[in-house]
Amino acid sequence: MFIINLFKEMTLDLFAMGKGFVYGFVMVGGFILVVGLLVYAVLMII
């Protein structure tokens, strides 16, 4: 029973970590995309 509980908690922790990783990855990707678009727009105007 103890081992099953431990395994369940580990799985939930890994799931939360994976979700956090994906969220951070999306945030960074979106930030780079926005900065890239801004730089592109400025270059097109000049």
pLDDT tens-place string over residues 1-35: 788 888 888 888 888 888 989 999 999 999 999 99
pLDDT over 90 at 37, yes or no = yes
SS3 of 1, please?
coil
pLDDT at residue number 46: 83
pTM: 0.54
Residue with tokens 């922790």: 13
